[in-house]
Structure 1
């Protein structure tokens, strides 16, 4: 039996679980760039213990971000299960924005970071499929303005993130008001012709890679 396959001792398993639990809390509070020393302190272990379990920073951070990405896909599945196409779209946006307002690591994932790796790529593909499905269904039903795209949705989410960032110390829930204003503006019956076209998929991908 090699070191890689040998089962962890009970105390080592306990330490690893404590580190993952602490990382979920610390990254939710401080974002994906939070210092690992803060994670170790929260878990009640030495920083050396953290690095024995997670030799590279990305080993721990990416494990947590992958959980966030799966949660994002779950939101998409929740929305897909809502019968009314417009309410499904509203549910999706409210849940994504609510989640990022309470979790800075999720906000980083939604607005700033692209998680690499095959497993993350598979989950990201699910997020894309579910999100576009929600948009397409609301447009096809004539409830969402016909020219609304995935890139437009990205900017709505980023906008809510920015409002929350600027107003959280004064009124943490103010982002909800501005999201609801935006949702009213996105109804098909309120649409008017726009001179500026939306970003295309390649432009949006390029923009994300620069963030």
Structure 2
């Protein structure tokens, strides 16, 4: 995809050096802000940290979605590539579980991507990426069914539910137990098995960590 291409004006000419420098600064700050704070991060805060006026940010990115596309186009492509790589793995169950694990890992690394993987917007770039991911889900599910190790009633849509559930798990445990999602995913995958369960890779969260995660979720509520 083209998120990192050199920007041009509406006439197709390259940006002036100072304009390109401002755009690059906005993208650098936005990339970190979205990853740390999610897609609802303050655009005014991004502009301030980038050392530009908010009007300058809007000249380069008239809508939040335009800035999101510049940041997340390549990251969504990484999700698609993970599915394409999974289809080259000879073992169908390893391909199935590996694809889900990689998606959840990408979610855990970037709060904005974590948000974006559970949402669609009225724009082609998100709709297309989600559809490509769903198609890859269907293919890895079909291979695992043929292999006989995936329960026959699992569908590609069930994998979307895994992404949705991990969006919340990752959000809740980000600071208190950042690897808890691996345990949750392993539990989920054991539920998908046609034969038996296997040992989990992570211990359960401590009671204090659960309380901390619940408190953090409470503090995130906007009451007014």
Q: TM-score, normalised by structure 1?
A: 0.80
1:119 CA displacement: 4.1
Residues 1:85 and 2:92 are matched in the alignment: yes
* Residues 28 and 106, structure 1, Cα contact 8 Å, conserved in 2: yes
1:42 CA displacement: 3.3
Secondary structure at the counterpart of residue 144 of structure 1: coil
Q: CA RMSD in A?
A: 2.1
Paired residue for 1:159, among 142, 157, 165?
165
Residues 1:187 and 2:193 are matched in the alignment: yes
**Where in structure 2 are the equivalents of 1:93-112 lying within 5 Å?**
93-111=100-118
Secondary structure at the counterpart of residue 117 of structure 2: helix
1:160 CA displacement: 2.3
Whole-Å separation in 2 of the counterparts to 1:178 and 1:3: 48
Who is 1:15 aligned against?
A: 22
* Residues 89 and 134, structure 1, Cα contact 8 Å, conserved in 2: yes
TM-superposition CA deviations, 1:108-139 (whole Å, max 9, x none)? 1222x203333444333322222211111111
Paired residue for 1:118, among 124, 142, 148?
124
* Residues 120 and 126, structure 2, Cα contact 8 Å, conserved in 1: no
Q: TM-score, normalised by structure 2?
A: 0.76
Secondary structure at the counterpart of residue 4 of structure 1: coil
1:141 CA displacement: 0.9
Whole-Å separation in 1 of the counterparts to 2:63 and 2:131: 26
* Residues 115 and 167, structure 2, Cα contact 8 Å, conserved in 1: no
* Residues 108 and 114, structure 2, Cα contact 8 Å, conserved in 1: yes
Whole-Å separation in 2 of the counterparts to 1:3 and 1:123: 26
**Where in structure 2 are the equivalents of 1:27-176 lying within 5 Å?**
27-111=34-118, 113-176=119-182
Kindly indicate which of the two structures has a greater share of residues assigned to helix. Answer: 1
Structure 1 residues 93, 115: closer, same or farther in 2, change over 3 A? same
1:169 CA displacement: 2.8
Whole-Å separation in 1 of the counterparts to 2:51 and 2:86: 39
* Residues 65 and 115, structure 1, Cα contact 8 Å, conserved in 2: no
